[in-house]
Amino acid sequence: MTSLKNKIAIVTGASRSTGIGTAICRLLATLGSDIFFTHWSAFDSKEGNGLDLDWPDLLQMELQSLGVRAFHMEADLSKSETPTLILNEVEKRLGVATILINNATYEAPANYMTLDEHTLDQHYAVNLRGTILLTTAFAKRIESRSPQVSSGRVIFMVSGGPDSNNLAYITTKSAVIGIIEPLSVGLARLNITVNGFNPGPTDSGWMTDEMKQNFLGMFPMGRIGLPEDAAKGVALLVSDESQWITGQVIKSEGGYLGK
């Protein structure tokens, strides 16, 4: 895979050692990219897959040991000022980022009996509003530095499926797909590609042993997807070789049969 040396990447939602965000940070750093990652412990401590309190500092040191620059910050994407705060801190620490991986997400189970206005608003604030506004601010930042910055990459981590106990999460993640194609057209003149990436069910720390057994039979390759699988696909899409791939939603699910 091509080198990402001299690139600066933002990866949102790298809160846990077993998460997809962490795997992406590791691989991009291995390929030479400087990394700025965000996390939000208030969510992970209450509603996520568990708080890994010291992980951000440990990950930063691990990435730096690979020979790249790495920094992190707490970032609540439900707040309107957060996109600007993130980009200002990135530019202060590293320079203008040209890669944005929208991995941060809000997820709380809700079926038709439990879904309410508050739950919908929480999902919307992070998964749609915050993520999209970070993306448009990222693109504006690149445009303002042209011609010094000549291209960019945006990846939206998306999801879908028939899980009736995850209505708000799937609805908002699916809605993100709707902006990918038109935004890719709008940003094409800036040489910024915009793609979605659906990793399918991934063993990133949320699966119980029972769930793993149930999922295993739906993967014809004989194993469940790993965070490293997602990271490899994302790394391909942010490489120079992917300049002609834009406006797409890539399913990287290992032939998952549980559609």
Active site residues: 169
Distance from C-alpha of 5 to C-alpha of 66, rounded to nearest angstrom: 12
Distance from C-alpha of 109 to C-alpha of 123, rounded to nearest angstrom: 11
Q: Reply yes or no: is the peptide bond before residue 83 cis, omega within 30 of 0.
A: no
Nearest to 96 by CA among 195, 227, 8, 199: 8
- Environment class of 150 (CB within 10 Å of its CB; exposed 0-12, middle 13-18, buried 19+): exposed
Could you give the residue ranges of the DSSP H alpha helices within the chain? Answer: 20-30, 41-46, 55-65, 82-93, 117-123, 131-144, 167-187, 209-216, 227-238
Neighbours of 61 (CB within 10 A): 10
Q: Report the amino acid identity of residue 233.
A: G
State the angle between helix axes of 20-30 and 227-238 in degrees (0 to 180), rounded to the nearest 10: 50
Distance from C-alpha of 18 to C-alpha of 95, rounded to nearest angstrom: 28
